Amino acid sequence: MMIPTDWLPVLMFGTLLVFMLSGFPVAFALAANGLLFGYVAIEQGMMNPALLQALPDRIFGIMSNDTLLAIPFFTFMGLMLERSGMAEELLETVGQLFGRVRGGLAFAVILVGALLAATTGVVAASVISMALISLPVMLKYGYSPRVATGTIAAAGTLAQIIPPSLVLIVLADQLGVSVGAMYTGALVPGLLLVGLFMAYIALIAMFNKQALPALPANTHFSAHTHQGPSIWSALLFVLLPPLVLIFLVLGSIYLGLATPTEGGAMGAVGATALTAAKRRLNGTLLKQALDSTTKLSCFVMFVLIGSTVFGLSFRAIEGDLWLEHLMGNLPGGKVGFLLAVNVLVFVLGCFLDFFEIVFIVLPLLVPIAAKLDIDLVWFGVMVAMNLQTSFLTPPFGFSLFYLKSVAPKSIRSIEIYQGIIPFIGLQLLMVGLIYAFPNLVGEKAVRSVDDAPLKVDVPETNYWDGQPQFVPKFSE
């Protein structure tokens, strides 16, 4: 039975959704769906069976991609630093410094979250560490449970936008731009987001004094408490190692002395040396870090391979052209396209992991963005900022799960959800600021976003891998 061509892309997406809702692993759901509709395309004469022979070459191309080497390096670096006790030391010392200020512990959590983002880059480690150390102290001295939990969850997600971020690495790979350009473009927006978080806490401390009280002078976070003038020397001692590591990794990339992959390798070595210097390096820790790194790297590779199979069949059934017609003819032209993309990414973030969104959706949107003359670095930073909300939005916000798993039983889930709503709003505000002020991503990288609507002309026949296709022309 022949299936109408116009319905095939919709049916393919629907089938993928059924696979994923059934609990089937995402990587295998993508590959199985791609092979299924590849068979349909062959049966309907839309794809040459010889195209499937190109899959091994495509998979080998993925495996030999140097850019993706940065993922295991930065993952290993983050895991080693997480086990080195750096988060505990930072929170202990910075908390002692800011504790006497109203809302000071919340300020400390945000600052430490930003430092951990620039070093570990691991959301789970950041959220759990800060929750275990800071949350009991916050609750003990009268902090609002909603503000405390929201601050910890939001600060932990900064690892997804502040370099070196795994999100930026995979986005750069899918967009076809350099990782260094993505890091440079995301730096200012990431720091501005930290500033927005701090400003929000300052407003609460100013107008709702009971929600964020100042802590007593003798507050103890752990057995190691720094008092008096020694707090400054302790702060220097605690801040120096991560700052040196940040300069070693990001500084070498920004200065052009190393590629992101080489910077990641230096970071992995530096994190191992730092852990050894603190006498915490042992065989068990090393095995755990290597095991977790291998699992995450394999997950990314299999999802990428599955998305390659999916993309091959999707193009064969002219799904890319269907999507171009759909997105290219939206009211508002570029503005309508960008609005639709951000709404789509935000909604998908409530249900999918950022890897899945990047590998499934982004390859279909990049050609449209390029035809609309949208700078891909700017586009990638905007999507990355939006993707950050996926860790906070219920029902599947991973930061919420991490926080709930270590929070006291007195903290209800509804309080955590209420606490993160303002921070989600601030992240979406930052998306709007990136659109309104493109130079935040960098003057050289960004072209202006024209508000003029675009229309699709009558398509012309073209060929893709030996098969006739229709490629729309965009014009003013």
Is pLDDT of 309 > 60? yes
Is pLDDT of 437 > 90? yes
Contact predicate 357/348, CB 8 Å? yes
* Average pLDDT of span 455-460: 36
Is pLDDT of 32 > 50? yes
Task: Write phi, then psi, for 44 (nearest 5 degrees).
Answer: -90, 5
Q: Pairing mode, if any, of strands 474-475 and 467-471?
A: unpaired
Q: Mapped to the 3 state alphabet, what secondary structure does 157-194 carry?
A: HHHHCCCCCHHHHHHHHHHCCCHHHHHHHHHHHHHHHH
Q: Report pLDDT digits (tens) over 236-294.
A: 777 888 888 888 888 888 888 888 888 889 989 988 998 888 888 888 889 988 998 89
Confidence of residue 454 (pLDDT cuts 50, 70, 90): very low
Share of the chain above pLDDT 70, in %: 87
Closest CA to 316 of 469, 108, 194: 469
Is pLDDT of 463 > 70? no
One-letter amino acid identity for 405?
A: S
Structure tokens at 361: 């959706």
Q: What's the confidence (pLDDT) of residue 188?
A: 94
Q: How far apart are CA 425 and CA 411, in angstroms?
A: 22
Name the more confident of 247 and 215: 247
**What are the residues whose beta carbons fall under 8 Å from the beta carbon of 219, sequence distance 6 or more?**
96, 99, 137, 141
Confidence of residue 462 (pLDDT cuts 50, 70, 90): very low
Closest CA to 417 of 435, 436, 397, 434: 397
* Average pLDDT of span 355-364: 84
| Prediction pTM value | 0.80
Closest CA to 285 of 9, 85, 98: 85
Q: Report pLDDT digits (tens) over 395-406.
A: 778 888 888 888
Which region among 46-55, 101-110, 257-266, 452-461 has the lowest average model confidence (pLDDT)?
452-461
Most confident of 2-11, 177-186, 300-309: 177-186
Q: What's the confidence (pLDDT) of residue 4?
A: 66
Q: Report pLDDT digits (tens) over 219-239.
A: 655 544 444 446 667 677 778
Is pLDDT of 413 > 80? yes
CB-based burial label for 147 (10 Å; 0-12, 13-18, 19+): buried
Q: What's the confidence (pLDDT) of residue 3?
A: 67
C-alpha Rg value of the chain to the nearest Å: 24
Total length of the chain:
476
Maximum alpha-carbon separation in the chain: 81
Q: What's the confidence (pLDDT) of residue 433?
A: 95
Q: How far apart are CA 155 and CA 194, in angstroms?
A: 8
What is the pLDDT of the chain when averaged over all its residues?
A: 81
Give the CA-trace dihedral at 347, 352, 353, 356, to 10 degrees.
-100
Which region among 325-334, 389-398, 434-443, 454-463 has the lowest average model confidence (pLDDT)?
454-463
Q: Report pLDDT digits (tens) over 146-201.
A: 999 999 999 989 988 998 888 898 899 889 898 889 999 999 999 999 999 999 99
Confidence of residue 446 (pLDDT cuts 50, 70, 90): very low
Q: What's the confidence (pLDDT) of residue 447?
A: 43
Which region among 14-18, 93-97, 305-309, 341-345 has the lowest average model confidence (pLDDT)?
93-97
Q: Mapped to the 3 state alphabet, what secondary structure does the chain carry?
A: CCCCHHHHHHHHHHHHHHHHHCCCCHHHHHHHHHHHHHHHHHHCCCCCHHHHHHHHHHHHHHHCCCHHHHHHHHHHHHHHHHHCCHHHHHHHHHHHHHCCCCCHHHHHHHHHHHHHHCCCCCHHHHHHHHHHHHHHHHHHCCCCHHHHHHHHHHHHHHHHCCCCCHHHHHHHHHHCCCHHHHHHHHHHHHHHHHHHHHHHHHHHHHHCCCCCCCCCCCCCCCCCCCCCCHHHHHHHHHHHHHHHHHHHHHHHHHCCCCCHHHHHHHHHHHHHHHHHHCCCCCHHHHHHHHHHHHHHHHHHHHHHHHHHHHHHHHHHCCHHHHHHHHHHCCCCCHHHHHHHHHHHHHHHHCCCCHHHHHHHCHHHHHHHHHHCCCCHHHHHHHHHHHHHHHHCCCCCCHHHHHHHHHCCCCCCHHHHHHHHHHHHHHHHHHHHHHHHCHHHHCCCCCCCCCCCCCEECCCEEEEECCEEEEECCEEC
Which region among 180-194, 374-388, 453-467 has the lowest average model confidence (pLDDT)?
453-467
Name the more confident of 122 and 56: 56
Is pLDDT of 330 > 80? no
